Amino acid sequence: MQLLRILLYILASFIIFIFLFIMLLFISSLFINTKKYYDKNSKYYRFLLNSSTFLMMLLLRIHVHTTGLEKVPQDTRFVLVGNHMSKFDPILQWFVLRKYDIAFISKIENFNVPIFGRFIRKCCFRAIDRENPGKAMDTIRDATKLIKNDEVSIGVYPEGTRGTGDGLLPFHNGVFYIAKNAKCPIVVMNTKNTRNISKNYPFHKTDVYFDVVDVMSVDDVKANNTKKIGERVRHALEKCV
């Protein structure tokens, strides 16, 4: 009986903590203007974003394994690129690379997600209109400014959408203009097994893998056009298949 009481107390405490944390997230989200994209990376909302991601990982039983993080530049902002397998990719990547303050370029619909769609605005994420090349270039220019102003590093998926698992989709090489115009390195990160998270929960844990497979220096970025950069990124990712 004593053990049962302890277990019930722990469970009740955990439920109360979850409730209070959700209330904090909700109340904090009310102070964000949903019609605005912010130019300053908020430490407070970045903390809430990372904290809620950590809690999600615990609840979904996600075990993250990383290699190559020592290759990530420590003294400069960069553009993070990689393959795209699941909706969980950017969520886990911004947590794995949390000390670098990654802001992703994402589809417009993600900014309408309750609470988190507001948080990512305060963390300098940017929406891209893939159907309008002019607006897409505005987003690329805006992302370039964020790097130049030392606010965030930028995360992009050159495929433009989630892959099918049968190799990489064609690249939209225009995203590499961010690195060329900002004169910053490109970090190439390969993602494995995030697609299985939804399949495994709640009965099984999921091991996911993030591997930094290449880093293009500023000189390399300057020396190559966007097509050549795309070819190098694709080659680095295809070696991981």
| Residues 6 or more apart in contact with residue 113 via CB below 8 angstroms | none
The CA-atom distances, in angstroms, between 198 and each of 84, 195, 205, 218 are 15, 7, 10, 38
**Up-side HSE of residue 77: CA atoms within 13 Å toward CB?**
22
Q: What is the DSSP letter of 67?
A: E
Pair 128, 139: CB distance under 8 Å? yes
pLDDT value at residue 132: 82
122 vs 9 pLDDT, higher one: 122
Per DSSP, what are the bridge partners of residue 67?
211
- pLDDT per residue as tens digits for the range 170-215: 999 999 999 999 999 999 999 999 999 999 988 899 999 999 999 9
Whole-angstrom Cα distance, residue 147 to residue 181?
10
pLDDT value at residue 161: 82
Pair 218, 185: CB distance under 8 Å? yes
pLDDT value at residue 241: 67
Alpha helices in the chain (DSSP H): 2-29, 43-60, 88-96, 116-122, 133-148, 177-182, 197-200, 218-223, 226-238
- pLDDT per residue as tens digits for the range 95-111: 999 999 999 999 999 99
35 pLDDT above the threshold of 70: yes
Whole-angstrom Cα distance, residue 182 to residue 146?
9
1 pLDDT above the threshold of 80: no
Q: How far is CA 216 from the centre of its chain?
A: 19
Alpha helices in 30-161 (DSSP H): 43-60, 88-96, 116-122, 133-148
Per DSSP, what are the bridge partners of residue 127?
106
117 pLDDT above the threshold of 90: yes
Q: What is the pTM of this model?
A: 0.93
pLDDT value at residue 57: 96
- pLDDT per residue as tens digits for the range 130-168: 778 788 899 999 999 999 999 999 999 999 887 766 689
- pLDDT per residue as tens digits for the range 44-92: 999 999 999 999 999 999 999 999 999 999 999 999 999 999 999 999 9
